[in-house]
Chain A
Amino acid sequence: MPETIVIIYLIYIFIALYFLFLFTLTFLQNKKEIFSSPKIDKDYSVSVLIPAFNEEKSIEDTVESVLKSDYKNLVEIIIINDGSSDNTLKIAKKLEEKYSKVKVFDKENSGKADSLNQALKIVKGELIAIVDADSFPDKEALHSMIGYFEDEKVGAVTTRILVRNKNNFLRKMQAIEYKVIAFTRKILGFLDSIYVTPGPLALYRKSALSEIKGFDPKNMTEDIEATWHLIHDGYKVRMSFISKVTTVAPDTLKKWFTQRIRWNIGGYQTILKYKHCFFRKGILGLFILPLFSISLVLGVFGLSLFIYKISIRILSSYLSTKYSIAAQTAVFVLEDISFNPSILNFLGVILFILGLAFVFFALRLVNKHIKEKESFFSVIFYLLVYIVLRPIVLIVSLYKFLIGKYSWR
C-alpha cells in the first residue's frame, strides 16, 4: 500500500489531469465558435456605469474609450463618483459638460456595490454596461457582446480582460495570467460555468439585475456574487472572445497582494452564501461551487503540506549537518544529491509539460488578434513561481476571512 503522501500526490495529479482533459475536450468540441459572436437583431439601449473612487489618473481615458464605442444605441454614460477625495469629480464634471451622453452621479463614499445599486435606480438602458474607471474597452467591445442577449436566458456577458501597460515584470506575469484566464473562461462559457463577470467590462440585462436586486454590498467581490446569483436564478452567462478591454493591473507586489486578498475573501463569502446549492441547483451546485471550493481546498492544503515537508527537510538537514560536524564527517556526500526518479516524478513532469502546452496554446490563441507575444522565460517563470504565490494568498485571505479582518480598500 503506497504511503499517504503518495496517495495525496496521486489525487492532485488526477484532479489536474481531469481539468486539463475537460478543458481540452471542450475546446476541441467548440473551437469553431471561439471567435464568433451572435448576430444582433434587436436594437438594445445601453447605459454605461463607471463607478469611480479616486480615479483622477484614468477616468478621462476610460470615458473617452467608451465614447468611441461603435455601438450606436448607447444612451448614457454615468460616472458614479463614490466620494473621491482627489480630482475625480472635477474631471467627471468637465466630461459631463463636454459630452451630452455623460452624466455625473455624485454621492458619499459607500463602496462599489452600493454605488452601482443606487445608479441602477436611475438608468434608462435595457442593458447595463459596468466599466471600471481604470479600464478601457475596445470600440468593438460592446457591439460584440450585445448579440448574446438575443437569448432571453442570458443575464450577463463578459469579455477578454487584458493587462494595459506591461511595463514591469509583475505586470507581465499578470498579463499572462489574464490571457490564460480569458481562454479558460471562454471554455467554461461552453459549459455554462462562467463564474464571474469582472469589473473592467461586464454587460448585464437590466431586468435580470433588478430580479436579483442588484449587487451585494456586503460582498468583497460583488461581480462574482452577482454572477452566481444570476446563474442561481436560471440565467446564463456568456463571454465574447473577439472583443477586449484593457485594465490597469497592480504594479507592486503589495498592491497585487491586497487585490488578490480581496478577490479571495470575496470568493469565500460567495461560497458561504451559496453553500446550500452544493450538488444541487444545476451547474452552479454541480460544477461551479465544487470547482471553486476544490481549488481553494487543494491550494490551501497543498501549500500547508509543502510547507510541512520543507520544514521537516530543513530541520533534518540542520540536525544532520550539526551531527556531521561534531563527528568530523562529510556534511554532504554524493548520495545526498543523487536523484532516483520515481513514477511520481515522471507523472509530475508529464503534467507540467501538458500544463505548459496548455498555457502556450491559450496564449497563442489569445494573442492571435492582438499581435502580442510572451517570452518563453516569462511563461516558465509564470508556471514555476507566479502560480505558486496563489496558495500563499489563499491561506492569508482564509486567515483574514476567518478572523473577519477585511475591508474593500
Chain B
Amino acid sequence: MALENKKHVFWQAFFLTILFFFLGIVFGVYLEQLKSDDANILFYQSETSLYDSFALSKLLDSSLVSCNELSDANVNFADKIYEEAKELERFDSSNKLTDSIKTIHRKYDLLRTLLWMNLIEVREDCGNINTVVYLYLYDIEDIEKRSKQIVWGKILQDLKEEKGSEVILIPIAMDQDIISLDYLVKAYDIKDFPAVIFNEEIILYEHETVEDLKKYFN
C-alpha cells in the first residue's frame, strides 16, 4: 500500500463517517420532528377545547349552562390535557437532538395556566370544583428536588386515580418563562418548588399521604 493510498484511506474513512453520522443525525431529527408534529396536533385540539371551555364560562351568566355542566366540561378538558402531559413526558424523554418538544411543553404549560385561571373564575361563580395545581421545575439539576418531584408525581397520580372526576389535577412547569404564571405564583406567595396548591387555599411543599391530602377537599 503506497503512502498516498494510506493518506487516502484516512480521509475516506473520515468522509464516510461524516456521511453516516450526518444521515444518522438527519434521521434522528426527522423522527423527533414526527413526534413533535404529533404533539402539536394534540396541542391544537386541546387549545380548541380550552377556548370552548372559556366560551362555556361566558354562557354561565346567561343561565344557558349550569355549574355542573361547566364543571364537567372543565374536568373533561383537564383530564384530557393531563393524559396528554403524560404522553408529552414520554416524547420528551426520547427527544435528544432538538428542542421541539420543549417548545410544545411550554405551550402546554401556558394552556394549563389559562385553565387554572379559568377555574379560579369558575369557582367564584360555582364553588363546587376541587383543583390541585402542581407546580414543578422542568429543568432541574438538584437531585433532592428532582426526587421530591418524582414522588409528588406518584402521590398526585394516586390521588387522581382515587378521586377521578372529583378532582381537577393541573401540573404546570414553573420555569418556562410564562409571565402570567409568575404573577399567579406571586399572588399566592409561593416561594419554593415543587409546590402543590389545593383550591387556591392550601399550599404544600412537603409530601403527604393520599389519605391526608383528601382532607383538603370540599
A: residues with CB less than 8 A from B are: 1-3, 6, 10, 13-14, 17-19, 21-22, 25-26, 29-30, 190-192, 287, 312, 315-316, 319-320, 323-324, 326-330, 333, 335, 338, 340-344, 346-347, 350
CB distance from B58 to the nearest CB of A (A): 38
- A–B Cβ pairs within 8 angstroms, 28 of them: A1-B99, A2-B96, A10-B25, A14-B17, A17-B17, A19-B13, A26-B9, A29-B1, A30-B1, A191-B1, A191-B9, A191-B10, A319-B143, A320-B150, A323-B150, A323-B151, A327-B208, A328-B209, A328-B211, A329-B209, A330-B158, A333-B157, A340-B90, A340-B94, A341-B94, A343-B97, A346-B24, A346-B28
In the A-B complex, the 5 residue pairs with the smallest Cβ-Cβ separation, listed nearest first, are: A343-B28, A319-B147, A22-B13, A340-B94, A323-B151
* Distance of A2 Cα from B94 Cα, bound (Å): 12
Given contacts A14-B17, A320-B150, contact A22 B9 (CB under 8 A): yes
The residue of chain A having its C-beta at the shortest distance from the C-beta of B150 within the complex is A320
* Distance of A10 Cα from B21 Cα, bound (Å): 9
* Distance of A29 Cα from B91 Cα, bound (Å): 44
Contacts of B94 in A (CB 8 A): 340-342
Q: Does B197 contact A (CB under 8 A)?
A: no
Contacts of B6 in A (CB 8 A): 190-192
* Distance of A297 Cα from B149 Cα, bound (Å): 36
Q: Does B31 contact A (CB under 8 A)?
A: yes
Contacts of A328 in B (CB 8 A): 209-211
Asked if residues B32 and A329 are in contact (CB atoms below 8 Å), the reply is no
Q: Does B146 contact A (CB under 8 A)?
A: yes
CB distance from B55 to the nearest CB of A (A): 34
* Distance of A338 Cα from B150 Cα, bound (Å): 15
B: residues with CB less than 8 A from A are: 1, 5-6, 9-10, 12-14, 16-17, 20-21, 24-25, 27-29, 31-32, 86, 89-91, 93-99, 143-144, 146-148, 150-151, 154-155, 157-158, 207-211
Asked if residues B96 and A6 are in contact (CB atoms below 8 Å), the reply is yes
CB distance from B158 to the nearest CB of A (A): 6
Contacts of B86 in A (CB 8 A): 335
Contacts of A343 in B (CB 8 A): 24-25, 27-29, 31-32, 96-97
The residue of chain A having its C-beta at the shortest distance from the C-beta of B6 within the complex is A191
* Distance of A346 Cα from B24 Cα, bound (Å): 9
Asked if residues A344 and B151 are in contact (CB atoms below 8 Å), the reply is no
Contacts of A3 in B (CB 8 A): 96
CB distance from A37 to the nearest CB of B (A): 15
Contacts of B9 in A (CB 8 A): 22, 25-26, 29, 191
Contacts of A344 in B (CB 8 A): 28, 96
Contacts of B24 in A (CB 8 A): 13, 343, 346-347, 350
Asked if residues A316 and B17 are in contact (CB atoms below 8 Å), the reply is no
The residue of chain A having its C-beta at the shortest distance from the C-beta of B20 within the complex is A17
Main secondary structure of the interface of A (DSSP, over half): helix
Best-buried of A17, A18, A319, A327 by chain B (most CB within 10 Å) = A327
* Distance of A272 Cα from B101 Cα, bound (Å): 47
The residue of chain A having its C-beta at the shortest distance from the C-beta of B147 within the complex is A319
Contacts of A347 in B (CB 8 A): 24, 28
Best-buried of B6, B31, B151 by chain A (most CB within 10 Å) = B151
* Distance of A344 Cα from B31 Cα, bound (Å): 12
* Distance of A22 Cα from B11 Cα, bound (Å): 9
Contacts of A13 in B (CB 8 A): 21, 24
Contacts of B98 in A (CB 8 A): 2
Contacts of B17 in A (CB 8 A): 14, 17-18, 21
**Option from A22, A190, A319, A330 in Cβ contact (under 8 Å) with B144:** A319
Given contacts A6-B97, A191-B9, A315-B143, contact A25 B210 (CB under 8 A): no
Contacts of A2 in B (CB 8 A): 96-98
* Distance of A26 Cα from B5 Cα, bound (Å): 10
Given contacts A327-B151, A329-B209, A342-B94, 4 further A-B contacts (CB under 8 A): A316-B147, A329-B155, A343-B27, A346-B24
